[in-house]
Structure formats: C-alpha cells, structure tokens
Amino acid sequence: MMNPTEEIETDVVVIGAGLTGLTAAHYLHKNDCKFIVLERQNRVGGVIQSKNEGGFLYEEGPNTGVTGNATVVELFDDLTGECKLEAASEYASKRFILKNSRWEHLPRGLMEAINTPLFSLKDKFRILAEPFRPAGKNPHENLASFVKRRLGNSYLNYAIDPFIIGVYAGDPNYLIPKYALPKLYDLEQKYGSLIGGSIKKGLENKPANEKKVTKKVFSFTGGLGSLTHALYESSGIENFRFGTEEVTVESSGEGFTVRYMNQNGELCMIKTKKVITTVGAYTLESTLPFIEPAEMKKLNSLLYTKVIEVSLGFNHWQGIDLDGFGGLIPSLENRNLLGILYMSSLFKNRAPEGGALLSIFMGGVRRQELMHLSDSEIREIVEKECKELLKLKDFKPDLFKIMRHNWAIPQYGVESGERFEAIKQLEEQYPGLQIGGNLRNGIGMADRIRQGKDLAIRAMKG
C-alpha cells in the first residue's frame, strides 16, 4: 500500500457535499466544530445545479422545494443576505391532471371537488364516509391498497397516482405509506381518518417555530444552486476537499481512518472521531468496507428509479396558457411523459419576456427502459407530446437540454423498515458513525435539510 502524502486529524468527516452534507457542514461550522467535507465531484450541490443559457435559467436536478419544516425556516434565516429566497407565484396552487388527453384542474376546494370530472360520482359520495372507516392494521400495506380502501379507485388513479409520479416518479403499488408518506400513514393511525385527522391536526396548538412553516413552494434568485453555494460559503470553503476518489472508511475502535485519492492521484489519510455519510446507498459498500455483507445488503438493495429531465425553452411562447404549476400525467393515460412544470410561470426571470421555460420528465419506475433512448429519440417524443398536450403547432425550442438521472429517487418499499433498523444497529455498533442521505428520513429538500442539521447535532454530542 502506498504511503499517504497527507495525514491530518479532525473531529468529523462528512462524505458528500450535496444538500444534506452542506447543511450538516453549515451547522458544524456554526458551532465551531472541526471538520472536513469530502466530495467526489469538483463542485458542491450534488444534483442541485442551476444553469443560465441564452436568457433561460434552468435546473439540472430538482426544480423547486417546499418550506416543509421549521429547520428549513431556520436555515434560510441563517442565510439571509447570502442568497435571496423566492416564493412561487400564485400559479403554484393551480395544478393540472391529464384525463382523456385533456388537462383538468386538481380540485382546490369543495365546489371544485364536486364538479371535477377527475373522480367518479360513486367516489365523490364515498368520500363522505371516509372519516367513519376503520384504520388499517397492516403496517406494510402498499399505497394503492391504502387509497382504494379509504377513498376509492378514481382518487387513486387521478389524484394519488399522479402525485406519486410527481414526487417519487414511483408506483403506488410499490411504495409503503408508513415509510414513503409517514404523515399520511399517521393521520389514519393516530386519528382514524385522513379527513378528520387533517382537521384535528390543523386545530392543534403549534410551537412558535412551527407556525412559520408555510409549506409554500420556493426557489432562489438565480436558482436552487444559489442555496447550495451559500451553504458552501457559510461552512468555510477551507473545510472542503473536491475531486476525491476511492473514499474508504476504516473503523479502529477508537475512531475512524478515512483514506482517499486527491485530484493529483495522491493518497491522503484523515484520522477522525466521527464520520457522516450522505451519499447514495449504492456507494456504501465501497465506502464502508468494514460492514458485514449481510448487513450491507439491507442498505444497498434500495431501489432507485431512473428519470430523464428535459429543460425546454422558447423565446416566444405560442402554446396553451401556462397559468399553473404544471401538469401531471397519470399512468392510466399511457403517455411517454410523467409531467410538465411551467417554470417561467412560477418564478421570475426564468425565460425571456414573452417566452417560456418548461421542465419535462420521463421514465420513472414504470418506464425505466426510456433511459436507453438516444437523444434524438427523446427529442422526437418530447416534440410529439408537446404538440398534442401544449398545442404547439411548430416545435422549434431555443433551449433543449437533456439530463439523465440514473440514481434519481429512492423508492421506500416494504424493505425500508429493515433498512432503517439496520442503520440504527450499525450506528450503535460503531459509535461515531452516522449513515445519512436519502436512503432514510425522506427524499424532499426539506427532509434533506432537517436530516443534515440532525446529523451535525448528533456528531457534536460527546
């Protein structure tokens, strides 16, 4: 084994500079903790990358976030002056669902729910009895069964299925509410009803910090990349190492030894008391080789869906009115798209005046094979769908960017409970080790921010 060219000591090593790792680093630095962040790429942010080209400001990964918990509010307060939060326009509450090749409004109130063609008359009446149905007893009931039991088939097909497509690019028959949508699961288990539970929960007294949680859609001036760059700056840029390859962690009983190859191909070594991993489950086997194969299998068997994202820009928009958040396409519609976001309607300066910026998604759990299409084949599909669904006579985009995400979104299926328990036991077995990232605690930006802070707090204890 070659001798390391650099040997240093620190209190905490964070592996990965995506949103989770950056948030952890922010709080470690805020509390004067000694740490180092190792990142394989030559940039921070992971999949969160904002690009500006030809007057279009587009995202290469997530397009929006939701102010979903108090930690998000707290973090944004910390970064005031470093990046400028941008709330989505009033169009954010107006969402469309495709049914029989027509865009229909997703109901926002009682009258719209009564008149919508999305749901059957039978299910509209059936929902009146939802508060009186008994709670389910199977903790591993899949989401499709859960929704059909409480709300009916049409709500599954034209509300929950497209919602899951939009969030997970997933399949309600695979996802388990207890793990994938714990708040929904808890409404039934705690209150006995989704409708009644929502009302009761809304009437409960909330701590002062929770009252600031608006659950509004957000981005930042300059795109979501402004957030990750601000976190990088706030965490102390001297604490980051980029272009790190072959990162491996060894447990020594009294801490850890982290080895990696730097950008010059030189071996480097760090002695540390604590290690936080925030990388995908699929990289953990090589990163943590001291974990027994049987235990590692519980971690890295997690299913990730493949997603194709297309940023589509027009200097002069001549299609349908883009007066909403965007449209989701239920699997029953048998289209080649998952959904379309109207980014230039949600946020300012995303496209030239009179133009439009769209984010289009393909693939998902049900259509993994689309990832093998060539760029020209993807363009053909996007052109055909846009002409039909957005009423474009001519398809001559001024921006056409394809992003392929092979490890896009983890799917929290029935195996998730075993994975969560395995992580808990490993962290007890190896004190100072914390296994974070989107393999647990949720997949949204708000989930990643909350977990990042929690990881930092735990690392600073003791």
Q: Where are the domains of the chain?
A: 6-48+69-82+223-300+412-460, 119-203, 304-410
Question: Is 80 exceeded by the pLDDT of residue 6?
Answer: no
Report which of 124, 155, 150 is spatially closest to residue 136, judged by C-alpha positions: 150
**Three-class secondary structure of residue 268 per DSSP:** strand
What pLDDT is stored for residue 108 in this prediction? 85
What pLDDT is stored for residue 462 in this prediction? 66
Assign domain 304-410 to its CATH superfamily: Protoporphyrinogen oxidase, mitochondrial; domain 2 (3.90.660.20)
Q: Which two tokens mark 145?
A: 């069964």
- How does strand 6-15 pair with strand 35-39? parallel
Report which of 253, 282, 279, 220 is spatially closest to residue 76, judged by C-alpha positions: 220
Instruction: Label residue 401 by pLDDT band (50, 70, 90).
Output: very high
Which of 36-45, 138-147, 196-205 is least confident? Answer: 196-205
Question: Is 60 exceeded by the pLDDT of residue 348?
Answer: yes
What pLDDT is stored for residue 230 in this prediction? 98
Q: Which residue has the higher pLDDT, 109 or 118?
A: 118
What pLDDT is stored for residue 109 in this prediction? 81
What would the mean pLDDT of 193-220 be, rounded to a whole number? 89
How far apart are alpha carbons 339 and 66 in whole angstroms? 18
Instruction: Label residue 3 by pLDDT band (50, 70, 90).
Output: low
Estimate to the nearest angstrom the gap between the alpha carbon of 62 and the chain centroid.
7
What would the mean pLDDT of 167-189 be, rounded to a whole number? 97
pLDDT in tens, 19-34: 999 999 999 999 999 9
Question: What's the pTM value of the predicted model, to 2 decimals?
Answer: 0.95
Question: Is 90 exceeded by the pLDDT of residue 111?
Answer: no
Matching residue, tokens 């109901």: 107
Are 356 and 317 in contact, with CB atoms under 8 Å apart? yes
Question: Is 70 exceeded by the pLDDT of residue 459?
Answer: yes
What pLDDT is stored for residue 156 in this prediction? 97
What pLDDT is stored for residue 343 in this prediction? 98
What pLDDT is stored for residue 218 in this prediction? 97
Instruction: Label residue 2 by pLDDT band (50, 70, 90).
Output: low
Q: What's 6-48+69-82+223-300+412-460's CATH class?
A: alpha beta
What pLDDT is stored for residue 431 in this prediction? 96
Q: Which two tokens mark 210?
A: 């929770």
What would the mean pLDDT of 39-66 be, rounded to a whole number? 97
How far apart are alpha carbons 325 and 288 in whole angstroms? 41
Give the residue ranges of DSSP H helices in 85-176.
Answer: 110-115, 121-126, 143-150, 153-155, 161-168
Q: How much is the mean pLDDT over the chain?
A: 95
How far apart are alpha carbons 223 and 334 in whole angstroms? 32
Question: Is 60 exceeded by the pLDDT of residue 1?
Answer: no
Question: Is 60 exceeded by the pLDDT of residue 164?
Answer: yes
Which of 137-146, 205-214, 280-289, 452-461 is least confident? Answer: 205-214
What pLDDT is stored for residue 203 in this prediction? 84
Provide the percentage of residues in the chain whose pLDDT is more than 90: 92
Would you identify the CATH topology of the domain 119-203? protoporphyrinogen ix oxidase, domain 3 (1.10.3110)
What would the mean pLDDT of 183-187 be, rounded to a whole number? 96
